[in-house]
């Protein structure tokens, strides 16, 4: 199975960003991708760069809505699974949300970011309501896919919940600034998660200079043995592809040993 991560800059014109995303999706499908994923808030400015003011909920859009409808049509036309990330408006609440669209164009569900951070240039608590969807795993035509949105990836219990739910691939829509992490830790955390849980991890990062932040790109894919098997360049628009062999999940240490030997009855509230 081939996955494609669309790492593209977000310009001020949202409709232009969506059009470029759709064009990149078509190119990835022609190149054999069966799953195509996008970065965090891929089609708009990263709103939390500045403290929330006025009515930030008004910046969002419903799911399903105009963007999911466009990508659902393309999914059905191209026969690909799509993982998006949008600023979702739901009544008077807003979420950092990832709709997952199956290869027949059906919207399987939406994962909402659970853990909400707040520090300079990431004023997220003024924009996002903590998610209420749990850690769903979607049974798609291409395989079992979970989503860990940005900050959620820091929580081992969340990453383990996706494994317990049967995920073979975890997509991480990310907004990571250049130089935000110490050398190696950016990838190392996801390498460990892949190894401990026996799934592939595909992190798709934002890229480009914006108002307060410069997003670094460098999207990557980890195999269940912890190796990084594909990496995009820094600071440029790029479509990263990687070929995934599901046999590697079945042969992983986690599937053969770690998950089998868990003792959740002793962990209290832990997964």
pLDDT at 180: 76
Residue ranges and CATH numbers for the domains of the chain are 2-263 (3.60.110.10)
- Cα separation of 197 and 144, whole Å? 14
pLDDT at 94: 98
Give residue 173's pLDDT: 98
Is the bond leading into 48 cis (omega within 30 degrees of zero)? no
| Strand, coil or helix: 204 | strand
Picking from 203, 199, 110, the residue whose alpha carbon sits closest to that of residue 161 is 199
Q: What is the pLDDT of residue 87?
A: 98
pLDDT at 34: 98
Q: Residue 170, Cα to own-chain centre: how many angstroms?
A: 8
Q: DSSP secondary-structure letter at 246?
A: T
Give SS3 for 53.
coil
For strands 169-174 and 200-205, give the pairing: parallel
Q: Can you give the pLDDT of all 271 residues of the chain as single tens digits? A: 999 999 999 999 999 999 999 999 999 999 999 999 999 999 999 999 999 999 999 999 999 999 999 999 999 999 999 999 999 999 999 999 999 999 999 999 999 999 999 999 999 999 999 999 999 999 999 999 999 999 999 999 999 999 999 999 999 999 999 887 666 787 899 999 999 999 999 999 999 999 899 999 999 999 999 999 999 999 999 999 999 999 999 999 999 999 999 999 888 766 6
Partners of 145 in the β-ladder: 138, 169
Whole-number Å distance between alpha carbons of 155 and 83: 21
Rounded-to-integer distance, Cα 73 and Cα 267, Å: 44
> Looking at residue 70, what is its pLDDT?
98
Q: Within 13 Å, how many C-alpha atoms sit on residue 257's CB side?
A: 6
User: What is the pLDDT at residue 181?
Assistant: 66
Residue 96's pLDDT is 98
DSSP letter assigned to residue 119:
B
Categorise residue 236: left if φ over 0, alpha if ψ from -120 to 50, beta otherwise.
Answer: beta
Is 234 buried (19+), middle (13-18) or exposed (0-12) by CB count in 10 A? middle
Helix (H) / strand (E) containing 190:
helix 185-197
């Amino acid at each position: 199975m081939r996955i494609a991560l669309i790492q593209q800059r977000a310009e001020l014109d949202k409709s232009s960003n969506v059009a470029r995303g759709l064009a990149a999706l078509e190119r990835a499908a022609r190149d054999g991708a069966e799953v195509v994923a996008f970065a965090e808030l891929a089609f708009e400015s990263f709103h939390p760069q500045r403290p929330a003011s006025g009515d930030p909920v008004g910046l969002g859009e419903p799911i399903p809505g105009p963007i999911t409808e466009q990508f659902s049509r393309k999914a059905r036309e191209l026969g690909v699974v799509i993982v998006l990330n949008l600023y979702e408006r739901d009544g008077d609440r807003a979420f950092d949300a990832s709709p997952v669209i199956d290869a027949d164009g059906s919207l399987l569900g939406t994962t909402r970011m659970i853990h909400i951070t707040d520090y300079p240039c990431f004023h997220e608590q003024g924009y996002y309501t903590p998610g209420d969807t749990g850690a769903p795993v979607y049974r798609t035509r291409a395989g079992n896919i979970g989503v860990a949105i940005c900050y959620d990836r820091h929580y081992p219990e969340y990453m383990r919940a996706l494994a317990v739910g049967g995920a073979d691939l975890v997509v991480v829509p990310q907004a990571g600034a250049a130089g935000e992490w110490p050398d190696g830790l950016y990838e190392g955390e996801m390498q460990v998660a892949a190894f401990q849980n026996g799934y592939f991890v595909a992190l798709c990062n934002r890229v480009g200079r914006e108002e307060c932040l410069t997003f670094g790109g460098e999207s990557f894919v980890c195999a269940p043995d912890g190796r990084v098997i594909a990496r995009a360049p820094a600071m440029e628009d790029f479509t990263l592809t990687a070929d995934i062999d599901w046999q590697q999940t079945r042969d992983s240490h986690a599937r053969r040993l770690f998950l089998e030997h868990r003792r959740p009855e002793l962990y209290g509230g832990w997964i």
